[in-house]
Structure 1
């Protein structure tokens, strides 16, 4: 191989290595990643079928009517006053339906009222002595559970002998009741 070819091959091999440290070279070769700015990403309003099919197509460059700007969304989050665009806006038919259903007579703090009433009932049901004597949660009835290994063995034996699967006694694991002081220490 002649010296010129060797120099050319060496330069071709060393050029990417030498240029890999340069940020401008990385950017121009497309090797630099540009993640999106998370503060500039906004969600788009969902597509919806317009109620009137005689609408004209939108003009390029005009803002979409159902689109909420980040400024309006932030203002609604801070002040608690929602603009009609954030609230979703109701049509005349929806307003009439809600009025007929009685939505305008709804109690705004119903959750507080229900919580107050149920907490009063639960406080009456359980006295101090009940909490003192029965400090632990009631345990389940110690029943029986099917022993999976023995049951599998029984089913295979029945299958190999040609017997029905219901033949024989189902093996169980019997649970015993805990002692009085068991689980305390």
Structure 2
């Protein structure tokens, strides 16, 4: 009986450790699983600098972050800011950059964002009884017919013409209301 107990206790401990080692928490605890740093929180520290006179150092604020340190979020947003992506007013674009911009097509209108927001607001507006009776709002923006537009672009490419040649095929989502259908009978 004692030999069974002598075998059962160590084997149960080994079994418990083996099962605990299979869990993610134990793998991290024992260093069996990689724990990489968060890519969005990694940043470089600013270089050390000394003032001309050491007596002019500001008093330290315990517990406060360094005054010269920029957070990783601010560094990331400054890297992907549109002002940094395209050359500024005084900087001419490189030859490759200018070729890319020429290939992208004409510059959008200045108020394009306002137009897109207005069109989205108009198209998402649910109609009331009068709108259903009279028909959809006539100011609803037309929608590009994707199949016809693809066919037009393929024809232009086959003929060696620019993509801007020809009118963009559009389909109106407006449907005649009850009153419009009634008048169409006559």
Larger Rg: 1
One fold, TM greater than 0.5? no
For Structure 1 versus Structure 2, the TM-score category normalised by the shorter chain is 0.3 to 0.5
Tell me the TM-score normalised to structure 2 length. 0.36
Higher RCO structure (Cα 8 Å, ≥6 apart): 2
